[in-house]
């Protein structure tokens, strides 16, 4: 039952020319740069007490509005004499933590709902998609702000508000991927071989559809950090005096002519965080395309 | 015929969505922890005031009854009464609507004027220096808070260069135009990074597609190929990309109005939040949803006008 | 030879979207009868070729047989037992499928070892400690090296992937193999490899096979019996040699006449001349969404009669074969 | 008389992030006026890129790295880009494999046909439209006046491909380049479309270069054939001679591995292995690893394309033994039977 070949030759059909398909490298440029940058940000936030001795909430009106480079205050002080560097670092603790954690439950809820509604279709799918349509009719920031207002101040409200609004994006992405994947022949083969549905969903579909959701979660973290910062700027975020980049920008806004850096510096912090996550997202896409 | 039917279909599809948004807006009040009336009035409110508010908000009725009332009033254009002002929410919104519409329009125009040329430029010089710059610089902008960008633009253009007013909207048309440029630019630039990146991808798809090769094979000249074949297809994908992101643009007007002290609906919502003026917050939230649905319908119309395939589906 | 698989009166209908706007515009509810009343018998050890053009319903039919769709009407019988609702585990094992696209038919995130091992374990084909050994045997069977077990599909070429797909189907030790266009996505120089492999495996493992293809030459090469499908129906069926040498249905004649042929000897003076001067038919869709009534080939048929307004059933032309040679045409004396 | 089109030693390269893919490696071919020429090979053989290079339509980032394209005795590769494009597109029209993507989805098909007459041949709008309708009629589109206003997605695959042929003809070319024009079509439609191409070729005296993976399609349509493998022409000559007595093991094996609809064989010949990766350049004949008759010399030496009598050529070191190949393979088959 061998293919017709000359005697004394092996069957070369089987991988004698190992295809030098470019091995998908674990890390590529953008991914590595993004991970390092984000890692440094997280490290700085965790090690805040080691980097500066200053207390981010300690007021000292005699030291108010010092310019960057002052003795003992590398990045200067705000109008209450609080150290800007310390506030930036401790602000990172709040903003990064809330930003990353706020994405976890939307990710899980949206992925599960998208997987189930895409696979089974029917009335459940219709219901989920109707709710999705309703939620996406609202601009993200508007609904989050309105919900935080209704729920009252505090980080708990922020988590809940972002979860209530954020899951729809994941549900949409995952459902779309599932609709494509479930008609791919590998999914048909799994069904034809009689594997149970839960196994097909978890073992065959999920690993193939979840990547898009992971890539999206990178920009979603940016979005949720933007939401927290915006809430802080509007005075609806983490209550003072806890430092937060958004409230720092708001504080600094009134000294724009004389001390522009007070509003500018926390903004740069957000921009750099966004850059790091965008690089990670781009890197992940590039890695996926290589496959 | 196909066109009319398609638009009719889209209009019909918008009805349940709008209906659904009223559900969300209505149930917002039930998210308020504890007794909404107490929370809204503060803990030292008199029992009489709480009871009066209960009656006014209809909180003494069963939930389905409250919703039907809400819906019924909504159908008559009645969004309730402000707690803070002696005025209906509808008239408050109508009084502020023009600045917001202006801002959305200016933002959308600026967004197109900035992103489309950049995307076309990057796509036509694929792999070149311009492409690399246009691809990487927006990465810096993805995490840029719109309000912060606004502050920075004020700092540069209004305070340092004195080209535009720092804030406000004036009273005359000329002042309106002058006052809307910086906020419009802010709204647009906040969206540009996302827009440029997805537009670039779709432009590359258009320029690399087989029908462009067919057109080139005809030997009708590069200019004619671009004008006759690339542009309209590029417009189709631009409209699609814009439609996907328009909700983000509409949403960012909320904070940007605040930064530039524009007398728009967004500023009103934030004022209402600080005044704990629940009906106004609800009303404005609803207004924003209607705006998004309306803008989406407009993009659908534009899409159907540009692309004959859409009308068929 | 005994029957291993039979299909009776099979109908598979797909419903399209029907929204409120369609209801208001009083549009008819869109429905597509991809398979519209098919009877089929597969006997032990034989290869049945199923040919037809795109959209004729041959793929839908094969997917019904492996239980991927629940038929709108009709039954599929495996070894005499009808599939009732969802196929049982034993029924799943009885009939397995080899898919068309070697690139999308294998899960890109699983190694070959995982793909095979999962099936061997779930269906308890062999004891758990024998799974690795059995996987290697399967690779032997399809001519792949053992190191393939640790590799993911993308490390293989199209032909090798198709071998993995065949190994996966064989893992369940089926009696019937459905090959749905197994070579159409492959390079011409690799197609013969897979065709020969399938024929060899059929022989050594005693399989019965339904070979679905649009490639008429391949079907003639591999099958004992041939069935021709057109718009959801079988319009001619019989022993392969008879169908090819004495096609009875006008559509079968057109189909066989349209196949490009290698011209190796022709009178001097130029290229081949045998290009069928077929009158150009109206641009009708190959699958009708609405009921036309009558013979479904009527609108393209050069020899249509008034009698063709009633749809003919399959009529017996000769019965020297096991199942006989049948065609659904009014020109065949009833 | 010099041929209409002459290609000499054409090389096409695709620069990729991980290296350069040498896709076409020194192809030479000629096409006389009114002649039908076939270019056969499987995916990755470089046949489509060769065809696209002729019209200057290489997809990004592929480029011609060397070679000459001579049109009407003029070396167009030496001309400035604008003039080169004017000459090439003036003399040739192209038909692609996938008619759905090859047509502009937002433009009426009639307008797409009328474009070249209007812009290139300088006709008035009315003349161009009349020409388009006439062309649609010639390629066998019923009711052309009405179909003129249709969009591509409103037509069937066969109709669309006819539109593409009409577009290719619209600029009054002397040579049509067709890249797998019927591969996406059903056999019955394929026969119709090939029939249209053939009758137009005869009626108008337009030449044809047909690229296909299907030997049978080429044999029914063309008078001469070029067989390509791994970016090279491995055999060429009058089609009947090549098909009845191939002088290269690749064409020989290909002919025996493809089933014949009229004559099923006991067993198809298989070509082991798969086409080489063009990122790497190994020494020796690129077909040697899969060749049934390869000797040590074949793995060391790159065989040149040598001319044979009867306007034929082959790139095989052992082509003189070609007459024995059949017996060798037949003997093998019986041995394997036992």
Give pLDDT, residue C268: 38
Q: For chain A, give the secondary structure using H, E and C.
A: CCCCCCCCCCCCCCCCCCCCCCCCCCCCHHHHHHHHHHHHHHHHHHCHHHHCCCCCCCCCHHHCCCCCCECCECCCECCCCCEHHHHHHHHHHHHHHHHHHHHHHHHHHHHHHHHHHHHHCHHHHHHHHHHHHHHHCCCHHHHHHHHHHHHCCCHHHHHHHHHHHHHHHHHHHHHHHHHHHCCCHHHHHHHHCCCCHHHHHHHHHHHHHHHHHHHHHHHHHHHHHHHHHHHHHCCCCCCCCCCCHHHHHHHHHCCCCCCCHHHHHHHHHHHHHHHHHHHHHHHHHHHHHHC
One digit per residue, the tens of pLDDT, for chain C of length 334 reads 689 999 999 999 988 777 666 777 777 777 788 999 999 999 999 999 999 998 899 999 999 999 999 899 999 999 989 988 888 889 999 999 999 998 899 999 999 999 999 999 999 999 999 999 999 999 999 999 999 999 999 889 899 999 999 999 999 999 999 999 999 988 888 899 999 999 999 999 999 999 999 999 999 999 999 999 999 999 999 999 999 999 999 999 999 999 998 876 543 334 433 333 344 443 333 444 445 578 889 888 888 888 888 888 888 888 766 678 999 998 887 6
In angstroms, the separation between the Cα of residue C100 and the nearest Cα of chain B is: 26
For the domain B99-312, what is the CATH code? 1.10.3720.10
N-terminal to C-terminal alpha carbon distance within chain B: 13
Nearest C-alpha neighbor of B18 from the set B308, B300, B309, B296: B296
Task: Please indicate, yes or no, if residue D5 is contained in any of the structural domains.
Answer: no
In angstroms, the separation between the Cα of residue C190 and the nearest Cα of chain A is: 9
Q: Assess whether pLDDT exceeds 70 at residue A13.
A: no
* B179-203 burial: b if 16+ Cβ within 10 Å, else e: bbbbbbbbbbbbbbbbbbbbbbebb
Count of CB atoms within 10 A of residue A113's CB? Answer: 24
Q: Share the mean pLDDT of chain A.
A: 84
Task: Please indicate, yes or no, if residue D203 is contained in any of the structural domains.
Answer: yes
Greater pLDDT, A288 or C253: C253
Asked whether residue D90 falls in the same domain as residue D183, the answer is: yes
Nearest C-alpha neighbor of A107 from the set A230, A228, A210, A223: A210
Best residue in A33, A134, A158 for a mutation probing chain B (most B CBs within 10 Å): A134
**Domains in chain D: how many in total?**
2
Partner residues linked to C226 by β-bridges: C49, C238
Give pLDDT, residue B74: 87
Helix (H, G, I), strand (E, B) or coil at C264: coil
Partner residues linked to D68 by β-bridges: D8
Task: Please indicate, yes or no, if residue D68 is contained in any of the structural domains.
Answer: no
In angstroms, the separation between the Cα of residue C334 and the nearest Cα of chain D is: 28
Partner residues linked to C3 by β-bridges: C43
Per residue in D86-122, pLDDT (tens digit) is 899 999 999 998 998 999 999 999 999 999 998 888 8
- Domain A86-290, what fold? MetI-like fold (1.10.3720)
Contact D69, D10 (CB under 8 A): yes
- The domain that holds D48 is classified in CATH as 3.40.50.300
Residue B8 contacts C where some CB pair is shorter than 8 Å: yes
Task: Please indicate, yes or no, if residue D25 is contained in any of the structural domains.
Answer: no
Query: In whole angstroms, what separates CA A168 from the centre of its chain?
Result: 15
Contact D185, D157 (CB under 8 A): yes
Q: Do B32 and A136 touch (CB under 8 A)?
A: no
Q: What are the extents of the domains in chain A? A: 86-290
What are the chain B neighbours of C27 within 8 Å (beta carbons)? none
In angstroms, the separation between the Cα of residue B312 and the nearest Cα of chain C is: 13
Report percent pLDDT > 70 for chain D: 97
In angstroms, the separation between the Cα of residue B141 and the nearest Cα of chain A is: 7
Nearest to B219 among D86, D96, D104 (CB): D86
Q: What is the mean pLDDT of residues A125-131?
A: 93
Give pLDDT, residue A83: 85
Separation between Cα atoms, residue D298 and residue D314, nearest integer Å: 14
Which residues in chain B show pLDDT less than 70? 1, 312-313
Helix (H, G, I), strand (E, B) or coil at D238: strand
Per residue in C237-254, pLDDT (tens digit) is 999 999 999 999 999 999
φ/ψ of residue D309, rounded to 5: -60, 155
Residue D254 contacts C where some CB pair is shorter than 8 Å: yes
> Tokens 């005994």 identify what position?
C2
Separation between Cα atoms, residue A178 and residue A208, nearest integer Å: 9
Give pLDDT, residue C46: 93
Asked whether residue D205 falls in the same domain as residue D251, the answer is: no
Give pLDDT, residue C247: 93
Q: SS3 helix, strand, coil % of chain B, rounded to 5?
A: 80, 0, 20
Give pLDDT, residue C224: 93
Give pLDDT, residue D148: 94
Give pLDDT, residue D260: 86
Count of CB atoms within 10 A of residue C289's CB? Answer: 11
Separation between Cα atoms, residue A198 and residue A187, nearest integer Å: 12
N-terminal to C-terminal alpha carbon distance within chain D: 57
Give pLDDT, residue D331: 67
Q: Do B233 and D106 touch (CB under 8 A)?
A: yes
Domain's final residue, options D188, D222, D256: D222
Residue B12 contacts C where some CB pair is shorter than 8 Å: yes
Q: Do D106 and B214 touch (CB under 8 A)?
A: no
Contact A85, A49 (CB under 8 A): no
Q: Do C265 and D244 touch (CB under 8 A)?
A: yes
What are the chain D neighbours of C159 within 8 Å (beta carbons)? 274
Q: Assess whether pLDDT exceeds 50 at residue D35.
A: yes
Query: In whole angstroms, what separates CA B107 from the centre of its chain?
Result: 9
| Residue range(s) defining the domain that contains residue D116 | 33-57+82-222
Per residue in A21-77, pLDDT (tens digit) is 444 456 788 899 999 999 999 999 998 888 887 778 777 777 777 777 777 777 777
Separation between Cα atoms, residue A251 and residue A245, nearest integer Å: 10
Greater pLDDT, B58 or D8: D8
Delimiting residues of CATH 3.40.50.300 domain(s) in chain C: 3-223
Give pLDDT, residue A18: 37
Separation between Cα atoms, residue A257 and residue A255, nearest integer Å: 6
Q: Do C261 and D260 touch (CB under 8 A)?
A: yes
> Tokens 């983490």 identify what position?
A238
Give pLDDT, residue C287: 40
Given the DSSP bridges, would you call strands C31-43 and C3-15 parallel, antiparallel or unpaired?
Answer: antiparallel
Neighbours of chain C (3+ CB pairs under 8 A): A, B, D
User: What is the helix (H) or strand (E) element at residue C96, kind and residue range?
Assistant: strand C95-98
In angstroms, the separation between the Cα of residue A181 and the nearest Cα of chain D is: 24
Best residue in C104, C118, C189 for a mutation probing chain A (most A CBs within 10 Å): C104
Q: Assess whether pLDDT exceeds 80 at residue D201.
A: yes
For the domain C3-223, what is the CATH code? 3.40.50.300
Strand ordering across the sheet containing D5-16: D19-31, D5-16, D63-71, D74-75
Nearest to C261 among D213, D261, D290 (CB): D261
Give pLDDT, residue D137: 92
Separation between Cα atoms, residue D222 and residue D238, nearest integer Å: 9
Residue C227, token pair as written in the block: 């069935």
Residue A79, token pair as written in the block: 């109008």
Q: What is the mean pLDDT of residues A235-255?
A: 85
Residue B9 contacts C where some CB pair is shorter than 8 Å: yes
Separation between Cα atoms, residue B123 and residue B115, nearest integer Å: 12
DSSP 8-state class, residue C235:
E
Q: Do A11 and D333 touch (CB under 8 A)?
A: no
Given the DSSP bridges, would you call strands C81-82 and C73-78 parallel, antiparallel or unpaired?
Answer: antiparallel
Best residue in B125, B219, B311 for a mutation probing chain D (most D CBs within 10 Å): B219
Chain C CA closest to residue B313: C17
DSSP labels, B94-161: HHHHHHHHHHHHHHHHHHHHHHHHHHHHHHHTTTSHHHHHHHHHHHHHTT--HHHHHHHHIIIIIIIS
Q: What is the mean pLDDT of residues A168-191?
A: 94
């Amino acid at each position: 039952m061998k293919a017709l070949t000359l005697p004394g030759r092996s069957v070369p059909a089987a991988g004698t020319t190992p295809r030098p398909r470019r091995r998908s490298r674990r890390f590529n440029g953008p991914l590595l740069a993004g991970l390092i940058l984000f890692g440094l940000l997280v490290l700085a936030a965790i090690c805040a007490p080691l980097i500066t001795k200053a207390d981010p909430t300690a007021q000292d009106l005699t030291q108010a509005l010092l310019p960057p480079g002052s003795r003992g205050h590398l990045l200067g002080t705000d109008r209450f004499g609080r150290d800007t560097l310390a506030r930036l670092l401790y602000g990172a603790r709040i903003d990064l933590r809330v930003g990353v954690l706020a994405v976890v439950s939307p990710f899980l809820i949206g992925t599960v709902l998208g997987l189930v509604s895409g696979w089974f279709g029917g009335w459940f799918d219709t219901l989920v998609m109707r709710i999705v349509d309703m939620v996406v009719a609202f601009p993200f920031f508007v609904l989050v702000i309105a919900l935080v207002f209704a729920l009252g101040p505090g980080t708990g409200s922020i988590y809940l508000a972002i979860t209530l609004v954020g899951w729809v994006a994941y549900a949409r992405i995952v459902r779309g991927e599932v609709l494509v994947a479930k008609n791919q022949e590998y999914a048909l083969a799994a069904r034809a071989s009689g594997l149970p549905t839960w196994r097909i969903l978890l073992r065959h579909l999920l690993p193939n559809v979840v990547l898009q959701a992971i890539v999206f979660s990178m920009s979603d973290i940016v979005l949720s950090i933007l939401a927290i910062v915006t809430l802080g700027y509007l005075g609806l975020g983490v209550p003072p005096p806890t430092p937060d980049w958004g409230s720092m920008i708001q504080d600094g806004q009134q000294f724009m002519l004389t001390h522009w850096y007070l509003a500018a510096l926390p903004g740069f912090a957000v921009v750099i965080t966004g850059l790091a996550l965008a690089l990670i997202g781009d890197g992940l896409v590039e890695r996926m395309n290589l496959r | 015929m196909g066109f009319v039917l398609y638009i009719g279909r889209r209009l019909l599809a918008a009805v349940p969505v709008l209906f659904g948004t009223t559900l969300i807006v209505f149930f917002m009040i039930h998210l308020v922890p504890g007794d909404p009336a107490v929370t809204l009035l503060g803990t030292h409110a008199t029992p009489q005031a709480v009871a009066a508010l209960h009656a006014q908000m209809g909180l003494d009725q069963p939930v389905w009854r409250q919703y039907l009332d809400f819906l019924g009033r909504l159908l008559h254009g009645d969004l309730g009464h402000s707690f803070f002002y002696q005025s209906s929410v509808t008239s408050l919104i109508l009084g502020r609507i023009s600045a917001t519409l202006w801002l959305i329009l200016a933002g959308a125009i600026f967004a197109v004027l900035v992103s489309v040329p950049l995307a076309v430029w990057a796509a036509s010089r694929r792999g070149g220096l311009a492409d690399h710059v246009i691809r990487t610089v927006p990465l810096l902008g993805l995490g840029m808070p719109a309000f912060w960008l606004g502050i920075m633009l004020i700092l540069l253009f209004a305070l340092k260069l004195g080209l535009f007013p720092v804030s406000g909207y004036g009273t005359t048309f000329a002042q309106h135009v002058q006052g809307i440029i910086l906020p419009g630019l802010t709204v647009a630039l906040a969206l540009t990074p996302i827009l440029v990146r997805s537009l670039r991808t779709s432009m590359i798809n258009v320029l690399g597609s087989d029908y462009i090769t067919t057109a080139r094979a005809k030997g009708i000249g590069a200019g004619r190929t671009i004008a006759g074949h690339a542009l309209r297809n590029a417009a189709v994908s631009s409209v699609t990309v814009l439609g996907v992101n328009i909700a983000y643009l509409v949403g960012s007007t909320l904070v940007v109005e605040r930064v530039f002290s524009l007398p728009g609906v967004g500023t009103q919502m934030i004022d209402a939040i600080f005044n704990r003026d629940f009906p106004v917050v609800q009303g404005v939230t609803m207004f924003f949803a209607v705006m998004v649905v309306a803008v989406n319908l407009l993009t659908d119309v534009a899409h159907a006008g540009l692309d004959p395939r859409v009308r068929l589906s | 030879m005994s029957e291993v698989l039979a299909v009776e009166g099979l109908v598979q209908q797909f419903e399209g979207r029907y929204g409120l706007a369609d209801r208001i515009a009083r549009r008819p509810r869109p429905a597509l009868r991809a398979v519209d009343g098919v009877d089929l018998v597969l006997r032990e050890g034989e290869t049945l070729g199923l040919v037809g053009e795109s959209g004729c319903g041959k793929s839908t039919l094969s997917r019904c047989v492996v239980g991927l769709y629940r038929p709108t009407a009709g039954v599929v019988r495996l070894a005499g037992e009808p599939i009732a609702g969802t196929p049982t585990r034993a029924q799943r094992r009885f009939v397995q499928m080899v898919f068309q696209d070697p690139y999308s038919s294998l899960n890109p995130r699983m190694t070959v070892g995982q793909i095979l091992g999962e099936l061997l374990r779930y269906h308890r084909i062999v004891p758990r400690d024998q799974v690795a050994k059995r996987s290697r045997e399967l690779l032997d069977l399809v001519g792949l090296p053992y190191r393939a077990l640790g590799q993911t599909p993308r490390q293989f070429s199209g032909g090798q992937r198709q071998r993995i797909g065949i190994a996966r189907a064989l893992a369940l030790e089926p009696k019937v193999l459905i090959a749905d266009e197994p070579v159409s996505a492959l390079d011409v120089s690799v197609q013969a490899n897979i065709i020969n492999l399938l024929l060899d495996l059929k022989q050594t493992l005693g399989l019965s096979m339904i070979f679905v293809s649009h490639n008429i030459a391949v079907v003639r090469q591999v099958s004992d019996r041939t069935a021709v499908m057109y718009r959801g129906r079988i319009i001619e069926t019989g022993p392969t040699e008879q169908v090819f040498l004495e096609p009875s249905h006008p559509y079968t004649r057109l189909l066989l006449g349209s196949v490009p042929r290698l011209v190796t000897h022709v009178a001097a003076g130029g290229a081949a001349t045998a290009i069928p001067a077929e009158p150009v038919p109206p641009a009708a869709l190959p699958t009708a969404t609405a009921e036309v009534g009558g013979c479904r080939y009527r609108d393209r048929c050069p020899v249509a009669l008034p009698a063709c307004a009633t749809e003919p059933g399959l009529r017996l032309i000769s019965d020297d074969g096991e199942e006989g040679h049948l065609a659904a045409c009014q020109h065949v004396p009833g | 008389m010099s041929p209409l089109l002459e290609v000499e030693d054409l090389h096409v390269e695709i620069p990729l992030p991980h290296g350069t893919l040498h896709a076409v490696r020194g192809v030479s071919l000629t096409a006389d006026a009114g002649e039908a020429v076939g270019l056969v090979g499987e995916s990755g053989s470089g046949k489509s890129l060769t065809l696209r290079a002729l019209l200057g339509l290489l997809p990004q980032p592929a480029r011609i790295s060397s070679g000459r394209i001579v049109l009407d005795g003029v070396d167009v590769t030496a001309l400035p880009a604008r003039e080169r494009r004017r000459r090439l597109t003036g003399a040739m029209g192209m038909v692609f494999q996938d008619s759905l993507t090859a047509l502009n989805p937002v433009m009426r098909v009639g307008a797409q046909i009328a474009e070249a007459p209007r812009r290139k041949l300088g006709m008035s709008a009315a003349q161009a439209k009349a020409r388009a309708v006439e062309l649609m009629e010639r390629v066998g589109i019923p009711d052309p006046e009405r179909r003129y206003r249709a969009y591509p997605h409103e037509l069937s695959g066969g109709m669309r491909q006819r539109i593409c042929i009409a577009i290719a003809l619209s600029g009054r070319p002397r040579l049509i380049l067709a890249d797998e024009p019927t591969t996406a079509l059903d056999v019955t439609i394929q026969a119709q479309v090939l029939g249209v191409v053939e009758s137009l070729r005869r009626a108008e005296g337009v030449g044809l270069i047909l690229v296909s993976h299907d030997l049978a399609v080429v044999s029914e349509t063309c008078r001469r054939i070029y067989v390509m493998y791994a970016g090279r022409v491995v055999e060429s000559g009058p089609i009947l001679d090549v098909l009845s007595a191939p002088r290269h093991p690749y064409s020989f094996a290909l002919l025996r591995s493809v089933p014949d609809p009229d004559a099923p064989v006991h067993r198809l010949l298989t070509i082991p292995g798969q086409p080489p990766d063009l990122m790497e350049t190994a020494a020796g004949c690129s077909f040697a690893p899969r060749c049934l008759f390869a000797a040590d010399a074949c793995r060391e030496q790159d065989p040149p394309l040598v001319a044979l009598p009867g306007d034929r050529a082959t790139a095989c070191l052992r082509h003189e033994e070609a007459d024995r190949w059949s017996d060798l393979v037949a003997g093998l088959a019986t041995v394997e039977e036992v």
